[in-house]
Each structure stands twice: as C-alpha cells, then as structure tokens.
Amino acid sequence: MGRQPGYDTAALVRAARRVFWEHGYEQASVPELERATGVNRSSLYHAFGSKRGLYDAALTSYLDEVVRPRLRPLQTPPVQPAALADYLQHLLDALARDATGDGDASRGCLLLSAAAAPIGQDDAVRAVVVAYRAELRAAVAGGLAAARPDLDDTVRAHLAESVTALVVAALALVRVDVVAAADSLRAALEVSRPEPARQPARQSLG
Amino acid sequence: MGRQPGYDTAALVRAARRVFWEHGYEQASVPELERATGVNRSSLYHAFGSKRGLYDAALTSYLDEVVRPRLRPLQTPPVQPAALADYLQHLLDALARDATGDGDASRGCLLLSAAAAPIGQDDAVRAVVVAYRAELRAAVAGGLAAARPDLDDTVRAHLAESVTALVVAALALVRVDVVAAADSLRAALEVSRPEPARQPARQSLG
DNA sequence: GCTTTACTGTAACGTCCATTGCAGAAAAGC
DNA sequence: GCTTTTCTGCAATGGACGTTACAGTAAAGC
C-alpha cells in the first residue's frame, strides 16, 4: 500500500551511475545527482538512505548491466580462436575509443574511481573490486582455454595473465596484476635473448 | 634582504608531494598540508600563492626527483640486453611491490590522480601528463633499440609500445596507449593462429 | 471516505573547505 | 639602531557539502 514512487528506479540508478562514472564518488555532489536523476534529495535519501547507498546501487547496476554482458562472449562455448582474437582486440580497442569519446565511458571504468579514490579504502567497495578482478581473470582464462587448447599450458597461462593484467590495469588500476604481466614480458624478452647473465636492480618508478 | 624562511623549501615541497601523492589534489586539504609540512597556511600562501601553486611545485619535484632518475638507466648507453630485461622486470615488479607497501608510492603514481581526477581537466596539468608519457615512451623505445638491435624492427616497435603502454596504463591510466598494447597482443595471438578468418565485434567493457 | 502508509518539497542544520586581512615578529642592509 | 622587507600566527570570511526535520501530498487497502 501507500504512494508509488514518481520515478523509475532503474532509470534513476542509471542516471546516478553516469554521474559517479564521470566524477567519481567524492566529486559527485548531491545537488548534481538531483539534477541528473530529476529526483529531489528527499526522495533519494528516502529510497537509498545516503549518498553512499545510492553509490552501492550504482556499482551493482554497473556490474550487472555493463561489465557482465561484455564478458559473456568469453564464457559461452564454443569460442572460436579467430573470434577470441578479434574480441580481445576490439575490447581493448573500444577502451581507447571510449576514452576519447564523450559517452558514458569517456572517463574510464566506474570501478577505477572506486579503486583509486578514498572510497576504495572502504572494505565493502574493495571487496567488490577484488571480485570484479577475479571475474575478469576467470573469463579471460576460460575463453583462452576454450579457444586455444593447442597452446602450451605455460604460454597460455602467461598470455591469459598478460591480457587480464592489461585490461585490469587499464580499467581498475589494480597494480598487483602488473607482476603477472611482467612475467609475460620477461618471457617475451627471453625468447631471442643472446646471453643468460642477469644483474638485478631494484628500482621503482613510483 | 628581509627575513629568511624558517623552513627548507625542498623538504616542504617533498612533504606536500607526499600528501598529494597519497590523497590526490582535491582530497588533500590545506590543514593536512599544514600538518605534513609543519608550516602555517600563511607561509604556504605567501610562498606558493595557493594550494594549486603548491601542487604545481610538487608535480615538478616529482618529475625531477622521482621519475627521471628511474628512467636514466634506459637513457645511458651502452644498455646491455640482460640488464634491460632485468630493468623492465624489476620496474614493473617494483610497481606491484610499492602498491602493497606503505611507502610514498603505496597509492600509485602521483600523476595518476592528475590524469584521472578533476585537476586532470586543467590544461597545464594535462600538458605535464602528456609530456610525461612522451618521455616514458622515448626512454623505453630508446633503451630497447640500444639493447636489442638484433630484433626485427616491427617486433621491437610492438614490444616497446606494449611495455610503454603497460607502464603508462598502470601508472597514469592514459587509456589511449592501450591501442598500441592491443596491436602487440594481437600480433602475439596471430603467431600460432590456425586460421586467418575474422569476425569483428565492437564492444566496450566500460 | 477514511485510515494508513509512502513519497516529495522547502528549509535549515552543522561542518569543512580554500582563501584572505591584519597585526606582529624577525632578519637583512644601511 | 633604524628602516625595510619578508615571514608568521590568529581569526574570520563566504561558500559548498552531506544530511536531517518537518510539513504537505498522493495513493493503496479497508
């Protein structure tokens, strides 16, 4: 019983998601969320409790409506090798294209701000980011395994990690994955390496 | 003539840099900068004009004292192939290690916030980021050319772009570079590719 | 139609922010 | 020692923020 909302909740969350996507959690102001959704702050707080509650709804909606549909081609066998190559190519390609466009994704991945900004310190948000990364890794590894069973296991593992790391690094800036990519690159460098001598030098670019 | 500052300017900027590094420009508050530098806001505004002026000084100091020293091994011939492999390996390795540590770099690259945050919209800051990316690209390409003249030009170019893209993507999140990395990955996928047929599918992960 | 429940508009709250004014303190040059 | 220049401490300004209180309105169930 009672009065019905004068707005479409799904559309509201989508509009809010766009604001968070563009400005990040901290820089997205409540007045701006009001403007974008066309809904008064009273209704927003009544429905979501807080700015943070609305952000959580936006995160969920982002994963369900944006991320997962794009990963589905990797998870639906049979995966053709050529299709996989094209898929990965165009996936990364689209990232670059979006970055220069003026669409929703022009400011990068919504989870980027979650990981890099202060909100990323929050345990609940961090858990979402970690789960997202695992999901992405599994999708890439699974798709690659289905498409290229002919590849050597080690090579395929390196390739999967490298692709995942690149996508994750570009999207969510989880720098830990760079380790795996570094292994891949090292392997690539070793292929036609003239001498096996090494001389480690611990340094950081910051 | 006149009174001398009661602080060491270089140390002050380093302390401020650490704050900007950790929290980003927008989230770094003046009271926190006062605390970290041990200098009153009056002196800060007297010396740097504004919070933004202090940030500019921190950016310059970051490039001079942090970034360029790490790139020098790539720019000082002769570069040994083994040393280059180790250098790149440990460079990326250190990025991951720093990310999990509690040092200055635990929050990523200082220029990351400059590129991803609202301050990155500023023309002057954007110019710094672009120059930084070009410098990094030149260093990697130059080092690789010096170390591995035996490699095929195309392969070496791909490798250089891939390494640069990975480092830049992980550090500064300039997604345009992902294009070059995607080319590299595509080349890697093509190496042992059974069939040449393609079927483009334009999609974006966001 | 009346009650109950839920949504919505206006206005205000307290807090933090970057920035500024101003009076005072310290040191360099004569 | 006096002047000049520069640095510093304290206090306040105006504005933006997230959040809440409250009165009002609309619709669902009986």
Question: How many residues does the structure list for chain B?
Answer: 206
- Nucleotides, chain C, CB distance < 7 Å: 4-11, 16-22, 25-29
Burial code (b: 16+ CB inside 10 Å, e: under 16) for A165-188 equals bbbbbbbbbbbebbbbbbbbbbeb
Taking one residue from A and the other from B, the number of pairs with CB-CB distance under 8 angstroms is 240
Q: How many other C-beta atoms lie within 10 A of the C-beta of residue B189?
A: 22
CA distance B1 to chain A (A): 39
Task: Spell out the per-residue pLDDT of chain A, length 206, in tens.
Answer: 677 888 999 999 999 999 998 888 999 999 999 999 999 999 999 999 999 999 999 999 999 998 888 778 777 765 666 666 666 666 655 655 555 455 554 556 787 667 767 888 888 988 887 788 788 878 888 887 887 777 777 767 766 766 676 665 555 433 333 334 444 444 444 433 333 333 333 333 34
CA–CA distance, A186 with B159 (Å, rounded to integer):
11
Q: B176 pLDDT exceeds 70?
A: no
Residue B150 to residues A194, A198, B59, B80, B172, Cα–Cα distance (Å): 9, 19, 38, 12, 31
Contact A201 B176 (CB under 8 A): no
The integer distance in angstroms from the CA atom of B167 to the C1' atom of D10 is 47
Residue A7, SS3 per DSSP: coil
List, for residues A12-69, the tens digit of each pLDDT value.
999 999 999 888 899 999 999 999 999 999 999 999 999 999 999 999 999 999 888 8
Closest partner residue to B205 (CB to CB) among A91, A175, A178 is A91
What's CA A62's distance to the chain center, in Å? 10
Q: Which residues contact B197 (CB under 8 A, 6 or more apart)?
A: A82
Closest partner residue to B204 (CB to CB) among A98, A107, A200 is A98
How high does pLDDT run on average in chain A?
Answer: 72
Percent of chain A at pLDDT above 70? Answer: 58
Of residues B160 and B125, which shows the higher confidence score? B125
- Nucleotides, chain D, CB distance < 7 Å: 4-11, 16-22, 25-29
List, for residues B43-102, the tens digit of each pLDDT value.
999 999 999 999 999 999 999 998 888 778 777 765 566 666 666 666 655 655 555 455
Question: In this predicted structure, what is the pLDDT of residue A156?
Answer: 73
Q: B169 pLDDT exceeds 60?
A: no
Architecture of domain A9-189: Orthogonal Bundle (1.10)
Q: How many helices (H) and strands (E) does chain B have?
A: 10, 0
Question: In this predicted structure, what is the pLDDT of residue A97?
Answer: 56
Which residues in chain A are closer than 8 Å to B192, comparing Cβ atoms? 150-151
